[in-house]
Structure 1
Amino acid sequence: MTILLGEVPQQDVARWTKYPAWHPNIIDYDLEIADSIVLLAFILTSCSAYLGLKWSYKQPKYKKYVTFFYKDEIATPTTGFIILLSYYILITGLGEFTYWTLDVGKLWSVTGVLHNVLEIAILILLHNGGKLKSNLTFAWLGGYILLVTILSMKLKWPYDGIWFKIQGLCSDYALIIQFVRVYLSTRKNLREAYDEQLPLNNPVLPSASQNKFSYDEFFPNNVSHPNQIILLILGSITHLIGNIANSIWMQSALAFYVFQLSYVVTWPFYAYYIFVDTHCA
């Protein structure tokens, strides 16, 4: 189907709720393939959330395992950030599940906005050097949820979907910029450090028994700090690419598959960042 300039495509309907969806009919859409990719994305996102929460709440055994954000010559532990990042992954998994059951639309936006507001919270925290300095932050975040939700409910197609997509893309862009800024500022503060090699764990000696094998031998012994932040940069870029593809080619099944596959990459990257950041010295 060719869409003329200025022509608004007809809304598709959700598979189970039969509510109007925020997308037109997708050409060459294979339901089995789509469900398989969405299920894979949901499983990996859920596993990433579980592992992220497990690693972020388990306090490091040694102080040397704590890494820091640097702003204005003030060092702040990354503990609060990785906990917030873990909940961000968890809420994203919830959004993925509700997408599968509800499809994107006004009803889904109630959970989708939680994903976006946690992105805003991460941006604020990183902008403040790893801290939420003002109690008003939570009021602003609550106001953001209300604003996005009210406009999503009041606007008509296609403006409701466009509004929700644009505000989400803005935070996606901002996350990349913020992660790059944090990486560069942290690298600058550590440039004069004598040793930037951060052991992830003590060296593991091969087992004396040939029949017994230690899986720890698979894991790297060190990472050059702050290169673990590159995982956040790569993950956020992957997510943005998938989101843009699905926004431009709304009727393309391939663009939809790419968008869902971006979830398969992004959230495991974030979870692995949490592992590295909580197991380095």
Structure 2
Amino acid sequence: MRNFRSISVNTEDKTAWVEAGATLGQLYYTIARHSRTLAFTAGTCPTVGVGGHFSGGGYGMMSRKHAIAADHIIDAKLINADGQILDRSSMGEDLFWAIRGGGGTSFGLLLAFKVELVTVPETVTVFNVTRMSEQNATRLIHRWQYVADKIDENLLLRLFVRSVRSPVHGNRTIQASFTSLYLGRVHDLLLIMQEKFPELGLVKEDCTEMSWIESVLYFAHLTNESLDILLSRIPSPVIDQVYVKINLTT
């Protein structure tokens, strides 16, 4: 399937046909080459294949506002057990529903997806703020659980928690990293955070404005790379082992 990687973007109706062997990075790259204000809601790892990702759901940094990748699939091509190539019309709505989140390989061989693209502003804002136990990390973690699903839908605030060695006393301690994408400018983000999560103490210097496609590189830990790196099918080394809590209903 890795040779099934063709991507065709239609900016007029804001859709794209994506073959199942393409990667998320290839999709993001192709969209960005066509438009600065169109995007797709899916994961942050550019070397993940769309076939498994889309058919398994596809959670990403814009999912609070734009839901998951599977919600934006509007057509598909699939080979069934009889060797027939089916689209949405010929496979029927029950099967079409099942391949969007139920795992496509359970029902046939997926060839391609037609997806709806989403509109994004020309400028988005990102930040990654780290707090240690000595900086009330546990209190911030507790507070985050009551805030993350209630803030502005343009803002997704992720939390990564890990055990590290304290630079102060050398003992093991808790480190909490709050990582965010806001679909808008830094001024508006700061107003939201000051109202909803002032305990974090976010300031302008913590934030960076950039384009959506630049944020793709940012969350993939590829900030200093050119966009062409998104075409690579070689996974980047695992940087950290983290534990993630998300709420797929918000």
TM-score for both structures, normalised by structure 1: 0.25
Larger Rg: 1
Larger RCO (CA within 8 A; separation ≥ 6): 1
TM-score for both structures, normalised by structure 2: 0.27
